[in-house]
């Protein structure tokens, strides 16, 4: 697990630990312990697991979300619930005299408040996700699978694209989408000259540029190595080639600055567009077609260079 976000929540952490230790000191300070025969171990088991699990939930929120309104509301709501759950747990051991009887009456109130705050937080979270979905447009279609995201470019990988193409083939009797394969020219020699970290950064920048040049319903994934793949729904080959040409022009004008030296390095791109046909039953058919054509045009380019 990655705990780097944890350090950015100092206020929320103190609220969480406050809600954990305040009930402990309250009940041990004000109450006196019960005799052993009166303790119901089954209750302790049930209420104890509530305490432990809600504490784990708070920790998960803290390590996975950056600071913000939604994060604060989630943590405060869960912490209030934790507060009640702790009081509930400790009165299994402790017995309060009349002076502190209000603790028993009072113990469920914070949980109710906590639940209200949590509900508000979940509504806000829903709103936030709608925004995030928009930000992710062109990176994903109607399916979210975080384990299929490529490590370097944060685009989805070839498996995801294959599933999406299969989905398109399944749901439309007469497929009308196009697939474009893009390949950066002489990426290998760039890697050798500037190192692999620079190569990885170049891939990230190129993926951003491709994203910028796509329409809102298109999808881009990293296929393999320096190869990217686009899925363009409701698009014929002419429009697909037009879009690919626009991306090629954008890449040609990208003045990439390696971290050593100020000289810009320019890149070119080879692309091939294919439209799905009635005969395509699986993604593999159309993918192998565009791959082969791309290889042929790359070979003719290197032959011309020689």
Q: What residues line the site for other proteins (CB under 8 A)?
A: 150-151, 157-159, 188, 191, 196-197, 200, 223-225, 227, 287-288, 291-292, 295, 299, 302-303, 305-306
Q: Which residue's entry shows tokens 């171990």?
A: 41
Kindly state the smallest distance separating residue 158's Cβ from other proteins, in Å. 4
Q: What share of the chain is helix, strand, coil (3-state, %, to 5)?
A: 60, 10, 25
CB burial string 269-289: b at 16+ within 10 A, e below: bbbbbbbbeeebeebeebbeb
Q: Distance from CA of residue 132 to its chain's centroid?
A: 9
Kindly state the smallest distance separating residue 249's Cβ from other proteins, in Å. 24
Spatial contact of 169 and 281, defined as CB atoms under 8 Å apart = yes
Kindly state the smallest distance separating residue 204's Cβ from other proteins, in Å. 13
Kindly state the smallest distance separating residue 59's Cβ from other proteins, in Å. 20
Kindly state the smallest distance separating residue 281's Cβ from other proteins, in Å. 17
Q: Distance from CA of residue 233 to its chain's centroid?
A: 24
| Sequence-ordered list of residues with C-beta below 8 angstroms from that of 115, at least 6 positions apart, any chain | 77, 81
Nearer to other proteins among residue 46 and residue 225 (C-beta): 225
Distance CA(214)–CA(93), nearest Å, equals 64
The two tokens of residue 108 are 């469920």
Nearer to other proteins among residue 150 and residue 167 (C-beta): 150
Nearer to other proteins among residue 128 and residue 295 (C-beta): 295
Kindly state the smallest distance separating residue 165's Cβ from other proteins, in Å. 13
Nearer to other proteins among residue 129 and residue 224 (C-beta): 224
The two tokens of residue 61 are 């929120």
Nearer to other proteins among residue 11 and residue 64 (C-beta): 64
Nearer to other proteins among residue 246 and residue 297 (C-beta): 297
Nearer to other proteins among residue 95 and residue 201 (C-beta): 201
Kindly state the smallest distance separating residue 85's Cβ from other proteins, in Å. 34
Strands (E), 225-297: 227-232, 269-275
Bridging pattern class, strands 178-184 and 227-232: antiparallel
Q: Return the C-alpha torsion angle 23, 27, 29, 31, nearest 10.
A: 170
Nearer to other proteins among residue 35 and residue 306 (C-beta): 306
Kindly state the smallest distance separating residue 81's Cβ from other proteins, in Å. 34
Strands (E), the chain: 32-33, 94-95, 178-184, 219-224, 227-232, 269-275
Q: Using the 8-state DSSP alphabet, how is residue 34 labeled?
A: P
């Amino acid at each position: 697990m990655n705990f780097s976000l944890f350090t950015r929540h100092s206020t929320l952490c103190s609220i969480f630990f406050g809600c954990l230790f305040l009930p402990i000191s309250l009940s041990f300070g004000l109450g006196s312990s019960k005799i052993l025969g009166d303790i119901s171990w089954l209750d302790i088991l049930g209420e104890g697991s509530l305490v432990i699990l809600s504490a784990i939930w708070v920790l998960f929120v803290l390590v996975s979300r950056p600071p913000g309104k939604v994060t604060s509301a989630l943590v405060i709501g869960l912490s209030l619930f934790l507060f009640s759950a702790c009081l509930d747990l400790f009165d299994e051991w402790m017995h309060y005299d009349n002076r502190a009887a209000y603790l028993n009456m009072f113990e469920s109130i914070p949980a109710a408040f906590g639940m209200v705050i949590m509900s508000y937080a979940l509504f806000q979270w829903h709103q936030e996700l709608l925004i995030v979905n928009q930000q992710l447009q062109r990176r994903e279609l109607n399916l979210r699978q975080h384990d299929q995201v490529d490590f370097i470019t944060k685009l989805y990988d070839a498996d995801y694209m294959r599933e999406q193409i299969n989905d398109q083939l399944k749901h439309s009797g007469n497929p009308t989408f196009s697939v474009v394969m893009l390949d950066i020219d002489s990426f290998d020699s760039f890697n050798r000259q500037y190192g692999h970290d620079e190569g990885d950064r170049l891939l990230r920048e190129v993926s951003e540029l491709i994203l910028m040049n796509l329409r809102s319903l298109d999808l881009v994934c990293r296929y393999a190595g320096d190869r990217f793949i686009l899925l363009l729904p409701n698009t014929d080959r002419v429009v697909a080639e037009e879009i690919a040409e626009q991306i090629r022009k954008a890449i040609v004008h990208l003045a990439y600055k390696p971290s050593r030296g100020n000289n810009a390095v320019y890149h070119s791109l080879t692309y091939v567009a294919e439209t799905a046909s009635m005969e395509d039953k699986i993604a593999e058919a159309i993918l192998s077609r565009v791959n082969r054509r791309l290889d042929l045009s790359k070979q003719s380019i290197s032959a011309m260079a020689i």
